[in-house]
Amino acid sequence: MLKPPVLAASNVVSSYASLQAHTDYHVIAPIKYTGDAETAFRQLAAIAGKMDGATVITANPGYLYLEFQTRLLKFVDDVEFVLDAPAGVIQMRSASRLGIKDLGANRERLETIRMRFNNR
């Protein structure tokens, strides 16, 4: 399971947030896929890994951890994906390391990845 959001901070979104203590800001839907789970996860990993500022830190079957560095101020955000094959989804989390607000950057990043994955 992915780390829970910090309640006082608006700098993280997670598809697991609804299962943990959260505010509405923290909740994002997982990515749905059809077909083979491992193939879908590999495709998602390729999409996320090619995004601007992305560095793959850990890539294991069913788990992907990336760091994203912002262009201007070089802040680092942590992004994780976990394959949930029984549910037919990929769980995800994006969190800023610094500050208590992200101005929607983490949600925007995950929604961009979702859009690219759905349009693959």
The answer as to whether 4 is a domain residue is: no
pTM of this structure: 0.89
The answer as to whether 3 is a domain residue is: no
**Residue the block writes with tokens 């910090």:** 6
Helix, strand, coil: what percent of the chain each, to 5? 30, 30, 40
If one counts the domains in the chain, the total is 1
Question: Which pLDDT tens digits describe the chain residue by residue (120 residues)?
Answer: 665 545 556 788 988 877 765 677 788 999 999 999 999 999 999 999 999 999 999 999 999 999 999 888 888 999 999 999 999 999 999 999 887 788 889 999 999 999 999 999
The answer as to whether 5 is a domain residue is: no
**CATH number of residue 33's parent domain:** 3.30.310.80
Question: What is the three-class DSSP state of 107?
Answer: helix
The answer as to whether 104 is a domain residue is: yes
Expressed as residue numbers, the domain containing 46 is 12-118
The answer as to whether 30 is a domain residue is: yes
The answer as to whether 6 is a domain residue is: no
* Residue spans of alpha helices (H) in the chain: 37-49, 105-118
Contact status, residue 95 vs residue 65, Cβ threshold 8 Å: no
